[in-house]
Amino acid sequence: MRILFAASEALPYAKTGGLADVVEALPRALVKLGHEVAVFLPKYRGVKSTSVVMPSLTIPQGTRLRFPAITNGAVLRGVRYFFLEDPFYFDRDGIYGDKNREFPDNAERFTEFSRATIEMAKHIWTPDIFHCHDWQTAMVPALLRSSYADDPVVKDIPVVFTIHNIGYHGVFSPESLARAGIPQGLFHPGGIEFFGNANFLKGGLIYSDYLTTVSRKYAQEIQTPEFGFGLDGVIRSRASRLVGILNGVDYSAWSPERDTLIPAKFSAKNLEGKKVCKEKLAEEFHLLLDHPNRPVIGIVSRFADQKGFDLIAAIAPDLMHEDALLAVLGTGDRRYEELFRALAIDFPGRVGVKIAYDNALAHLVEAGSDMFLMPSRYEPCGLNQIYSLRYGTVPIVRATGGLDDTIEMFDLEHGTGSGFKFSEYSGDALLHVIRRALHYYSEEGIWKRIQMNGMAKDFSWNTSAAEYAKLYEAARAARNQSTVPASN
Ligand code: ADP
Ligand code: GLC
């Protein structure tokens, strides 16, 4: 099968979060299964292309035409990369916005990208299936089923749409639709209209053949008002076409045996190197490791409300009474940057904070910490807790979405489980579970057991990629059926 991925981020070119990891690793895994995969991305600042494929596409926007180019990227591990080159829109200091704000023309930028995805499929690389991701590519299905509904080349190509996070909608004023070149006919309550505005994600949910999200639990959760961000009704109406497929992990990048970014390698058989990583981590984060057994709790995260940092703020003073250190790496919401900066000032040597986006440091936190904290309010999948397992870094997570699906609560009686979970979204519940983890940490034999249980887990992409391949087939079959005239 030929599969065309369209996404706003993918490693090794552009990343703000887990989407980029997934759009790198899943295509590779599909290639291994024998499929042909191309990935289409905007050419952001700093991205290099090798040659021009089409020097000028014609993209209507309002009363104007735009003429971006399509350029070639490399072929990496069998995956072909193409870029949309439009410096006015994409050669900027940031992907979605700069330090101060979201870019005001995101509707135009990502509609152009979506339209170019379809044009690329027409003229350059015709796929059997489109696989789109999040609101930035949601206009692919919306335009395919409207403006392109009579196009003989693309009209029957099915779309699988993955929801990585239903909290991000891409909401724009009705006026921006015309500016972006989206047909007015889509602007109604059964289409992309949402409380008077245009909601791109809603378009993806309605016009795609199949929807997926990144864990089974999250597929259930987004059907409820608590987790649906106002779109739970739309999701429920499409429940028969929604599948939860857990993200995998690229162990060639994230395993302590092979990691080239950490000061010492280690494995389940020999954990010695982990101590070296811990010392280095303490040094980098200015943590007082006055005895080597003092546990370090690590955090690597976008600083966003989703991630549960208000709980950490609530329990920080109590947590500091425990014999534990905190190493935090992250950027994002200023409120949380200030929160962690303040904690580092109030508890010098106990809390170490780096306000940065730094992949090498992320690897060091994974490798050098004893525990990894993810108290998310909601979490579609979450990758860091899965990385942690492989590094013998025991996850402490809230039982939501992918965190609940990937982490099993440690059970002393049976010696089973890979981490610690709490359910109620409260500081007390979080503090309780952290204390429990710290208690077991002090018992070496038990702790080793929990580490080994986690290190033995396998969340590689093979199984999930095969599930996607099956779904692509189902989407093709469903679309073929729906094009058979009723009279036949
Ligand atoms: P989300 O996509 O919601 O941010 P995930 O857990 O799925 O959460 O993925 C986050 C990814 O981004 C991981 O690969 C993680 O290592 C990386 N990451 C997050 N924050 C940072 C940071 N400050 N520096 C380096 N990598 C980061
Ligand atoms: C989103 C989610 C995260 C998920 C990632 C990749 O950013 O917040 O939970 O792991 O997408 O699917």
Determine if ligand 1 sits within 6 Å of the CB of residue 386: no
Indicate if the pLDDT at residue 485 is higher than 90. no
Give φ, ψ of 280 to 5 degrees: -65, -40
Distance between CA atoms of 278 and 271, rounded to whole angstroms? 11
Identify the band that residue 482 occupies on the pLDDT scale cut at 50, 70 and 90: low
In short, whether 329's Cβ falls inside 6 Å of ligand 1 is: yes
| Whether the predicted pLDDT of 91 surpasses 90 | yes
Given a cut of 50, whether residue 4 has pLDDT beyond it is: yes
Contact call for residues 133 and 164 (beta carbons, < 8 A): yes
At 169-190, the pLDDT tens digits run 999 999 999 999 999 999 999 9
Q: How far apart are CA 470 and CA 300, in angstroms?
A: 33
Mean pLDDT for the stretch of residues 110-138: 98
pLDDT exceeds cutoff 70 at 81: yes
Distance in Å, CA 317 to ligand 2 centroid: 30
Length of the chain: 488
Say whether 309 sits in a helix, a strand or coil.
helix
Which pLDDT tens digit goes with each residue over 352-367?
999 999 999 999 999 9
- Which atom belonging to ligand 1 lies closest to the Cα atom of 385? 6
Q: Whose CA is nearest to atom 10 of ligand 2?
A: 382
Instruction: Band the pLDDT of 3: cuts 50, 70, 90.
Output: very high
pLDDT tier at 487 (50, 70, 90 boundaries)? Answer: very low
Nearest CA to ligand 1 atom 13: 18
**pLDDT > 90: percent of the chain:** 95
Which tokens belong to 209?
A: 């053949």
Poorest-pLDDT segment among 32-36, 70-74, 143-147, 318-322: 318-322
Mind listing the pLDDT tens digit for each residue in 145-170?
999 999 999 999 999 999 999 999 99
Which amino acid, residue 155?
K
Instruction: Choose the residue to mutate in 381, 383, 385, 397 for probing ligand 2, maximizing ligand atoms within 8 Å of C-beta.
Output: 381
Intervals of CATH 3.40.50.2000 along the chain:
2-248+462-480, 272-458
Question: Is the beta carbon of 164 within 6 A of some atom in ligand 2?
Answer: yes
The identity of residue 327, as a single letter, is: A
Please name every residue paired with 131 in a beta bridge, in sequence order, or none if there are none. 5, 160
Q: Determine the residue of 9, 19, 26, 169 to mutate for testing ligand 2's pocket, defined as the one with the most ligand atoms within 8 A of the Cβ atom.
A: 19
Distance 471 CA to ligand 2 centre (A): 20
CATH superfamily of 2-248+462-480: Glycogen Phosphorylase B; (3.40.50.2000)
d(CA 11, CA 460): 17
The per-residue pLDDT of the chain, averaged, comes to: 96
Ligand nearest to the CA of 217: 2
Distance CA 133, CA 186 (A): 20
Q: Please give the angle made by the CA atoms of 84, 88 and 93, to the nearest 5 degrees.
A: 95
Does the CB atom of residue 385 touch ligand 2 within 6 A?
no
**Percentage above 70 pLDDT, the chain:** 99
Evaluate whether 221 touches 400 at the Cβ level (below 8 Å).
yes
pLDDT at 97 over 80: yes
The Å distance, Cα 144 to ligand 1 centre, comes to: 32
> Can you tell me which atom of ligand 2 is nearest the CA of 164?
11
Contact between 177 and 198 under an 8 Å Cβ cutoff? The reply is yes
Give distance in angstroms: CA of 165 to centre of ligand 2: 6
> What pLDDT is attached to residue 206?
98
Backbone angles phi, psi at 84, to 5 degrees: -90, 120
Instruction: Compute φ and ψ for 22, nearest 5 degrees.
Output: -65, -45
Token digits for 108? 């135009």
Over the stretch 26-40, which tens digit does the pLDDT of each residue have?
999 999 999 999 999
Q: CA angle 240-248-158, nearest 5°?
A: 40
Is ligand 2 within 6 A of the CB of residue 244? Answer: no
User: 214 CB under 6 A from ligand 2?
Assistant: yes
Helix then strand then coil, % of the chain, to nearest 5: 40, 20, 40
- CA distances, 66 to each of 60, 96, 108, 467 (Å): 6, 20, 11, 38
pLDDT at 484 > cutoff 60: no
Instruction: Note the pLDDT tens digit of each residue in 385-429.
Output: 999 999 999 999 999 999 999 999 999 999 999 999 999 999 999
Spatial separation of the C-alpha atoms in residues 439 and 87, rounded to whole Å: 55
Average pLDDT over residues 428-432: 98
Give me ligand 1 centre to Cα 383, in Å. Answer: 7
Task: Give the number of the ligand closest to the Cα of residue 384.
Answer: 1
Taking the centre of ligand 1 as the mean of its atom positions, its distance from the CA of residue 243, in whole angstroms, is 24
* CA distances for 42 relative to 24, 48, 317, 458, angstroms: 15, 11, 45, 33
pLDDT score for 270:
97
**Looking at domain 272-458, which of 3.40.50.2000, 3.40.50.1370, 3.40.640.10, 1.20.1300.10 is its CATH number?**
3.40.50.2000
